[in-house]
A and B are shown apart, each in its own frame.
Chain A
Amino acid sequence: MEPGDAKNREALRLRLMGLGDSSLHKSYYPELQKRLGELERFRTLLDRANDAIFLVSLRDGCVRYANASARRYGLLLGAKDLQLQCLPLKNLLLGGNGEGVDMDRILAASAFDSGEEGRCVLDLFTDEGLRRCELSVSVPETSGDVHAVLILRDVEDRLAAEDRLRETLHQVEEARSRTVSLTAAIVELKDSFTGQHQRRTAQLASAIGRHLGVSGGELYDLVTAAMMHDMGLMAIPTDILFAPRPLSEVEWLLVHRHPLIGKTLMDRENFPSSVSVPLVQHHERLDGSGYPRGLSGRHIVSLARILAVADVAEAMSSHRPYRPAHDRSVVLAELAAGRGGQFDAAVVDACVALLEEGFAFAPHPVEELSQG
């Protein structure tokens, strides 16, 4: 503003006298109120959090701040005003062993993955009794007193649900294992050759599968399918099944139905397709020469390819009523002949490697069935 004209001069004069519209006396109050408002909002945010949040001085182990949710842990010992007195963390948090939990214990129990934040799960007393709580601890860089930020989350409900789920899954798996064992046992009662064949095929298939990196639930499915892959044969009349002679064309047609019969039985019991498909496909061949559908190439799932090789290799290695066991060299030659044609090359290679290493069939039940 130029002091030139009279109007401006008067306005400037009033300002000089402190009577201008914005001739302010020094006051921090407006700024103070703004900051207080921000603090208030942050505090509301913190108090709204379900997780308990503590600010703990590492110098004396006292709690400098605790949000509203933190009261769940302090109720038993009567938390007081944190501004007025030093309240040690160990007086607030009571562990499952009845002892107070201090920062040393938390830091010792915590795993620091990324360096910044440590985590652990501790049993703590809350207003709902003893609960498993996940603790997150970090020591942010601040000037002055060093504080740890402690965030507690009650994970009791989540962990309990996980425990129940795991238990249920275990029970389901056990039930399936019992079904498979029972079925295999019945097959073995009626036809010890087929029964043994299924068991030994399962051993070999499991070994090939593991060799090829199959694991976990998939390996379990492979073994399950192998343990029952010939159960469809039980529907074939005994005189055909045990005939010590070449079968007629009609008889072969019957025998070729056994994968379909096996799958039908599985479907009735609601076995997953990850088990029933390898079973129904174990006589299919990559070049389309197999049965019952004459599938080829990518239509044949990987577990079925493993099962096919294991089936053939085991069958040739074993004694049959109508022929003696083949030599290992014959088996290897047969596999080599089918490599890349009838059989998956990688599976054949794995099987050959196992046999050359001297793979031995265990005399008794397959371990994999009892694993989770």
Chain B
Amino acid sequence: MVGGESLRKFVAPEIVFGEGALELSGRFVRNLGGRRILVVSDPGVIAAGWTEKVLESLKGANLSVVVYENVRTNPSTASVMEGASVFVREQCDMILAVGGGSPMDCAKAIGAVVSNEQHVLEFEGVDNVALPPPPLVCVPTTAGSAADVSQFAIITDEVRKVKFAIISKTMVPDVALIDPRTTLTMEKNLTVATGMDALTHAVEAYVSDASSPLTDLHALETVRLVARHLPGAAAELDNREHRRGMMLASLYAGLAFSNAGLGMVHALAHSLGGALDLPHGECNALLLRHGCAANHSAVPERFARILQAFREGECMASMSPVAPTPPEKVLEELVARVEVLGGISGIAVRLRDFGLCREDIPRIARFAYQDACLLTNPRHLDAAELEEVLHGAW
């Protein structure tokens, strides 16, 4: 059931969007009742200087801070448990995450661990976080993950070598302070990879069988914004207008997928990223066109709307009118656009380029089949079909 009479719920954090949002960190944290703040960040963001700016704001509000920065791409269960022990040891009472998806997801999971006194692995799945974590303020520094507004936290289990999702309304941050300036320091590859992540969120949320008018609005606008701003942002890294457009795209995509769910592309990307420790955005960029092909027949008119939004976005950029696309051409044109965007920074186009061995495909498919993201895919796929998709992408 898509739309129609079925019930839908929309959950979002308190959001402040715009240049200068970062400087509000101190005020919002203080108003939420924080006194000693665990600031979760990573070395890259610290090097870019954003963490320091947040710390200044916090100290300006007379808050004491403890920085936890041992977070790498694809945050691990060990990192979460270590961060939680720092929180407890330092007697923190609130968490602020500054960075991309990795530190934000790590911060969300740390919150769940400290309030529930459980191991992070116990939260895997949907609604398995019983007690709400301490308040969480997020300051995103990439335009893609949207972890600052979503109910998802993706953690890597380094034992099983797989990413697992913690999905819970309690994982929605309390405040997202979204400051587009923070994305100015992203280099080209990261700009494109995170932008493709946002696009994948939008496409999957729009074709999700849990989509709704509330999420459609955000999903389609995301597609327009990505089409209009991603090529420009990648070409001119310091262009504030494109950065702002992509940051907004990321936010919209987050609001859409957090409430509508995702699909097979994310299920596969989690499994693949966990096995090979790959950047999430790049996995999505590679797999998105395969996902479109696999799902197109289930909801063709939805894919047609996505293509239209794509073209609307392009036209805003070029000021040329949008001509209708014949239905039989939709998939072809859409896939071509996805390939063009992904190709801007030369992201791998075959799975073999990621270093994936053909023999590992069945295992990747098996883990993907157990991923919660598959719950809202527009058509049911079994492990064998997922394996087929992976072989096609290899």
Contact = CB atoms under 8 A, between A and B. Distances in A.
Contact of A25 (B24, B27, B174): B174
B313 interface: no
A227 to B, nearest CB: 75
A21 interface: yes
Contacts of B24: 19
B14 interface: yes
Interface string A10-53: 00000000110110110101111100000000000000000000
A196 B195 CA distance: 122
B93 interface: yes
* A contact face: mostly helix, strand, loop, or mixed: loop
B31 interface: yes
Contacts of B14: 18, 25
Contacts of A21: 27
A30 B174 contact: no
A31 B27 CA distance: 17
B16 A30 contact: no
A27 B93 contact: no
Given A19-B16, A33-B33, A33-B93, A27 B27 contact: no
A27 B32 contact: yes
A199 to B, nearest CB: 81
Contacts of B93: 33
A24 B93 CA distance: 18
Interface residues of B, number: 12
Contacts of B16: 19
A29 B135 contact: yes
A29 B174 CA distance: 11
B134 interface: yes
A29 B134 contact: yes
Contacts of A32: 33
Contact of B174 (A18, A19, A27, A33): A27
A22 B24 CA distance: 12
Nearest to B134: A29
Interface string B10-30: 000010100000001001000
A32 B33 CA distance: 9
A253 B368 CA distance: 125
A22 B134 CA distance: 20
A25 B93 CA distance: 18
Contacts of A22: 31
B32 A30 contact: yes
A243 to B, nearest CB: 98
B27 A29 contact: no
21 contacts: A18-B14, A19-B16, A19-B24, A21-B27, A24-B31, A25-B14, A25-B31, A25-B174, A25-B175, A27-B31, A27-B32, A27-B33, A27-B135, A27-B174, A29-B32, A29-B33, A29-B135, A30-B32, A30-B33, A32-B33, A33-B93
Given A27-B33, A33-B33, 7 more contacts: A21-B27, A22-B31, A27-B31, A27-B32, A29-B134, A29-B135, A30-B33
When A and B form their complex, which 6 residue pairs have the shortest distance between CB atoms, in order from nearest? A30-B33, A29-B33, A25-B14, A24-B31, A29-B135, A27-B32
Interface of B: 14, 16, 24, 27, 31-33, 93, 134-135, 174-175
Interface of A: 18-19, 21-22, 24-25, 27, 29-33
